[in-house]
């Protein structure tokens, strides 16, 4: 399975802007810029998109692991906070923190925590990223 996305950038780093699109069309020439990445401008940015991908991947992986253990989640709410820091004369993503709130009938806290951690390790996007990935998981 292969999925694709593309980006087009025009102009200088600070005055220019770009658009990103996905193969599915969910993002279709969605605007991004220096301001949307490093300040508070309108549009998306790469770190936000990585966060969305990681949160979505994690929620699906957690649902899979819960199902394999005999549970069906009522809801999994996953948020990924991506930290972009200045380092070595440039920038890098050094950390992602997952905040997970889940509503799952009949599960004990210790099993919930184990499966939440297993999903964090097993999510394909977690495996892709070379950053510290921390998590706080709450069973409602």
pLDDT of residue 130: 82
Give the model confidence (pLDDT) of 59-93 as tens digits: 999 999 999 999 999 999 999 999 999 998 999 99
**Do 31 and 50 belong to one domain?**
no
| DSSP for residue 28 | S
Range of the domain at 32: 5-38
Listed in sequence order, the DSSP H helices in the chain are 34-38, 46-68, 109-122, 124-128
Q: Enumerate residue ranges in the chain where pLDDT < 70.
A: none
**Do 51 and 109 belong to one domain?**
yes
**Do 33 and 59 belong to one domain?**
no
Model pTM score = 0.91
**Do 60 and 77 belong to one domain?**
yes
Closest CA to 78 of 64, 94, 104, 60: 60
**Do 9 and 62 belong to one domain?**
no
**Do 120 and 89 belong to one domain?**
yes
**Do 21 and 89 belong to one domain?**
no
**Do 24 and 86 belong to one domain?**
no
Closest CA to 115 of 67, 75, 82: 67
**Do 68 and 113 belong to one domain?**
yes
Enter the tokens of residue 75.
Answer: 């809801």
Number of structural domains, the chain? 2
């Amino acid at each position: 399975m292969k999925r694709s996305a593309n980006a087009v950038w025009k102009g200088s780093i600070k005055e220019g802007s770009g658009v990103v699109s996905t193969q599915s069309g969910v993002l279709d020439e969605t605007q991004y810029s220096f301001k949307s990445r490093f300040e508070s401008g309108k549009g998306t940015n790469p770190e936000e998109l990585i966060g969305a991908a990681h949160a979505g991947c994690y929620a699906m992986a957690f649902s899979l692991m819960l199902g394999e253990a005999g549970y069906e989640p009522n809801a999994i709410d996953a948020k990924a906070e991506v930290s972009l820091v200045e380092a070595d004369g440039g920038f890098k993503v050094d950390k992602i923190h997952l905040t997970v709130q889940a509503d799952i009938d009949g599960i004990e806290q210790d099993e919930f925590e184990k499966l939440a951690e297993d999903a964090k390790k097993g999510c394909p996007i977690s495996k892709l990223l070379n950053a510290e990935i921390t998590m706080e998981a709450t069973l409602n």
